[in-house]
Amino acid sequence: MTPELKGFVLLSLIKIVVVFSVMMVGVMMVIWMERRVSAWKQDRLGPNRVGPQGLLQSVADGIKNFAKEDVIPEQANKLLFVVAPALSFIPAMLTFAVIPVAAPLPVDFDFTVPILGQFVHSGPMPMMIADLPIGMLFIVAVGSLSVYGIVLAGWSSANKYSLLGGLRASAQMVSYEVALGFSFVGVLMLAGNVTLPEIVAHQQDSVWFVFALTLGFILFFVSNLAETNRLPFDLPETESELVTGFHTEYSSMKFAMFFMAEYTHIITGSALVATLFLGGWDIPFTSWDSGDPTVLKSLLTLAFFAMKTLFFIYVFIWIRWTLPRFRFDQLMQLGWKFMLPVLLAYILILGATVLVLDSIGWSSGLPYGAALFVMNAVLVYIVFFILDNNRLLLGRTHRKVGT
Amino acid sequence: MAITVVTVRRPEDDVSYLRATLKGMALTFGHLFRKKVTMQYPEQKSDDTWEISTRWRGTHRMLTDEQGRAKCVACGLCPQVCPANCIKLVPGEDEEGNRYPLIYEIDEFRCVFCGYCQEVCPEEAIHVGVHYENAEYERERFVYDLERLCAQTHPVSTLWDPSDPKGE
């Protein structure tokens, strides 16, 4: 191995360890946040006993879960039953590998360790684990894997409720995978690249995609909700019908693993929305952050990225504690009959707009963004207000009956 | 027989899923900043919106006279009226002919806290109390003897007064 390669491997290992630990602590904090916020929304206080403001509640719960008896049903497929929680957890973690969390950090070192030899690294280090050239495609590929964990958990439990939960999960996630895939086609179209650093850079040059692709942003967020199995799309769990769906038979730390997977999904989902549509680590109203990399720049952009992610995590929680659950046919109708046609039309309109803007010589900058924003505002109005009055969103409950 | 279809024409605001969603989101957001109703029990036992009623019927208390003796004259009315049969009374008599309880025990596990004993007592000796923290480490400790009943200091229940049903 050359010294440069060794330096790269060393840095990658450090990044993996750091990201993993931050994610684990983050998951605990998000669980605490969800419990506190949900309590506040119901005029309660929520857990505030363990540690300052109850911050260590998740630690206590973790210890409790480790101490609990681990029950495996006799009829269960033992191997898959044990593997399933990990299978649902790993894809959620993997996605984070390609998300840039801050501006590149300048790292220069050149040292020699007795047995291992020389380690060299110079120049800016991208603040992500893997700067993959396939970026978004990797996220879609890995994201679809997370359905396996849930389906296998449901199937291997040998329980009818679990099986139904698993089936629902697969149907739902496969359907919304389509909507999710189409809803960021707009991002790829504008950025002209699939790597996330390029997408972020393009947003710094023109406008955040939340303005240039408002409709795409809304639909992406909705399908993201469905992908993470959060309310109002948490049909795999539905206590009222399926006990708790796919994890009915799970206990102890395996059960906690599903929870960790869900909250990891929330964090990565929020980070993804922030990267694709809110400019990632971009600090608004300044181009200072995209200049030469310094340590201060990295830290500040990291803080901004964390704030954006935290905002979307909050929105996830906010939606969960407001909206009731969809019926399953409503869910499928929303996915296939509303989101898919709207997205296809959107891609067509967006492509035409970009073509027109290109032909008059606008390809970035403020007027370009403003034109796209106006186009999006009109589309959002059409989709959510004109169509909503005819209750397209509600499906077939509304029929005009002649009096 | 023809089936009648009733079409309910609801106002647009109620029908629109989008508007309902936005309304709901605004409502839950508003609740973030409302005053919380949780009372943090061990530290906080009452607040300005809630405190324990004076009509609360909790564990018993025997009132005493100036010499510190129980007011009870061992008439036997309370074990008679007790629907749960939880009062054990053995009457005694001193040389002056005054009756007093030799043994007076209340099994708080059997008690249904109806308050009949307080209502029936001619001497206003036995009372149910405004008190609810009765945890013990042993089951036997829930049989309160006369000494323990006299030693209680919590306020006694006012019970329900039929002429003043709302407690004014």
User: Residues A235-268: pLDDT tens digits?
Assistant: 777 777 777 777 888 888 888 888 888 888 889 8
Record the tokens describing residue B63, joined without a space.
């009132």
Alpha-carbon span A133 to A199, nearest angstrom: 12
Phi and psi of B88, rounded to 5°?
A: -110, 120
Residue A117 falls in which region: left (phi positive, over 0), alpha (psi -120 to 50) or beta: left
CA dihedral defined by B118, B122, B123, B128, rounded to 10 degrees? Answer: 0
Q: Check residues A65 and A207 and name the one with the higher pLDDT.
A: A65
Which amino acid appears at position B41 of this protein? Y
Q: Say what the pLDDT of residue A299 is.
A: 85
Q: Which one of B4, B27, B28 makes the best mutation probe of the A interface by having the most chain A beta carbons within 10 Å?
A: B28
Nearest to A91 by CA among A142, A42, A131: A142
Measure CB to CB from residue A318 to each of B5, B15, B25 and give the nearest one: B25
What percent of chain A shows pLDDT beyond 70? 94
Tokens 């505030």 label which residue? A48
In a domain, A123, yes or no: yes
Nearest-Cα residue of chain A relative to residue B26? A322
In a domain, A331, yes or no: no
For A130, A138, A187, A283, A364, the CA distances from A194, given in Å and listed in that order, are 14, 9, 9, 22, 18
Nearest to A100 by CA among A306, A369, A260: A306
Residues in B lying within 8 Å of A, measured between beta carbons? 5, 7, 12, 15-19, 21, 24-25, 27-29, 31-32, 34-38, 40
CB contact under 8 A, B36 and A319: no
Residues of chain B in contact with residue A384, where contact means CB-CB under 8 angstroms, are: 18
In a domain, A85, yes or no: yes
Measure CB to CB from residue B16 to each of A40, A318, A389 and give the nearest one: A389
In a domain, A341, yes or no: no
CB contact under 8 A, A393 and B17: yes
Nearest-Cα residue of chain B relative to residue A381? B18
Q: pLDDT class for A185, splitting at 50, 70, 90?
A: confident
CB contact under 8 A, A403 and B7: yes
Q: Which domain holds residue A95?
A: 3-325
In a domain, A342, yes or no: no
A308 pLDDT above the threshold of 60: yes
Nearest-Cα residue of chain B relative to residue A316? B25
Burial A108-123 (b: 16+ CB within 10 A, else e): eeeeeeeeeeebbbee
List domains and CATH numbers for chain B.
60-151 (3.30.70.3270)
Q: Say what the pLDDT of residue B14 is.
A: 56
Nearest-Cα residue of chain B relative to residue A321? B28
pTM metric for this prediction:
0.81
How many structural domains does chain A have? 1
Alpha-carbon span A158 to A163, nearest angstrom: 7
Alpha-carbon span B36 to B148, nearest angstrom: 39
pLDDT tens readout for residues B34-92: 888 888 888 888 777 778 888 888 888 888 888 888 888 888 888 999 999 999 989 88
Alpha-carbon span A52 to A59, nearest angstrom: 13
Q: Say what the pLDDT of residue A399 is.
A: 47
Alpha-carbon span A161 to A246, nearest angstrom: 7
CB contact under 8 A, B18 and A318: no
**Complete DSSP assignment for B11-59:** -HHHH-HHHHHHHHHHHHHHHTTSPP----TTT---BTTB---TT---S
Record the tokens describing residue A213, joined without a space.
């692709």
Which amino acid appears at position A372 of this protein? L
CA distance A379 to chain B (A): 15
In a domain, A78, yes or no: yes
Alpha-carbon span A379 to A242, nearest angstrom: 38
In a domain, A370, yes or no: no
